[in-house]
Amino acid sequence: MKISDRLRKYSPWLLLGVGLGVGAAVVVAFEQTMHYTSQDAFCMTCHQDNAGKEWMQSVHYKNPQGVVVSCASCHIPHEFAPKMVVKVGAIKDVWGFLQGKISTPEKYEALRLEMAQHEWSRLKTNGAKECRQCHKLEAMDNPDMPFVKDEHEAALKSGKICTDCHQGVAHTPPGKAEVAQHP
Ligand code: HEC
Ligand code: HEC
Ligand code: HEC
Ligand code: HEC
């Protein structure tokens, strides 16, 4: 049998095999990229001197339980479609970074409120799902502060989301650069 005949004979299987191999490699690369770009270290490459520094001072990094809440758990949705929206949006941030949009503390401060508003409205559209992954308002009951339960019961009824009342839970709240972190 000539080599070309042999190839012809096997080519559908060869093609399928190669196709599956390439497909698998693409899926793995995609998963790896998704995973890598969700890690704090990745976020820190650009946010070390701003959002990241503030986060490390906040209750979501430093608390008696030693629970470190990652950037991704608040900023990156778990479901595929909303996650993709955030990831594709991040391409704009890479571009913004290259343009030097947050290259100095002054520039960052000037942009802070606008950025925070983007995040608040994103959380508004999903009812602050990311926060509720850890915090259950229904279950929050502090005997030392009974008004917290009342406050949250009212919040649940009125349809308010966490960031309507709690802002700056991981960063300096906008407009209050000189004021200490939440609480
Ligand atoms: C390549 C640099 C870079 C990396 C890496 C990066 N960011 Fe950003 N990020 C920026 C820049 C620049 C802005 C300002 C965006 C703008 O308005 O163009 C920004 C803005 C944001 C905002 C405000 C969003 C908005 O819509 O205004 C959030 C939230 C944010 N980043 C979170 C993250 C998280 C979480 C990670 C890690 C998963 C991350 N960033 C990784 C550069 C980066
Ligand atoms: C991965 C889990 C997790 C996520 C996601 C999360 N939190 Fe928390 N949160 C914690 C932990 C842990 C603490 C610290 C508990 C403690 O020691 O009081 C905390 C503390 C708080 C506190 C109390 C602050 C204080 O001074 O005691 C508030 C308010 C809060 N979180 C709001 C939020 C909001 C708003 C979001 C969403 C933007 C959010 N959290 C997302 C785990 C989480
Ligand atoms: C209507 C306003 C309002 C909304 C909406 C709201 N809270 Fe609160 N929350 C309060 C007040 C007021 C307190 C008590 C004072 C404080 O710690 O800021 C409180 C306290 C807390 C505490 C501290 C509890 C303790 O016992 O120390 C946590 C954690 C918290 N809220 C998380 C959340 C999360 C997460 C959401 C969204 C799922 C949310 N809250 C929605 C008003 C609100
Ligand atoms: C506990 C949830 C939580 C964690 C953890 C968290 N963020 Fe945020 N982040 C928020 C919320 C909510 C806002 C909207 C503004 C606000 O309420 O303070 C925000 C705002 C921002 C902004 C816009 C600027 C500003 O100050 O409002 C950037 C950039 C950002 N986050 C990046 C990060 C990065 C990078 C990390 C990890 C190093 C991180 N965040 C960790 C909840 C979180």
135-170 residue pLDDT tens = 998 888 888 988 888 889 888 889 899 999 999 999
- Between 154 and 50, the higher pLDDT residue: 50
96-135 residue pLDDT tens = 999 999 999 999 999 999 999 999 999 999 999 999 999 9
pLDDT attached to residue 8: 72
**Mutation test residue for ligand 3: of 132, 147, 151, 156, the one with most atoms within 8 Å of CB:** 151
Mean pLDDT value across residues 47-64: 96
| Closest ligand 2 atom to 65 CA | 17
pLDDT attached to residue 128: 94
**How does the average pLDDT of the chain come out, rounded?**
88
Tell me whether the omega of the peptide bond preceding residue 105 falls within 30 degrees of 0, making it cis. Answer: no
Q: How many whole angstroms from 63 Cα to the centroid of ligand 1? A: 25
CB 116 within 8 A of CB 176: no
Q: How far apart are the first and last CA of the chain?
A: 80
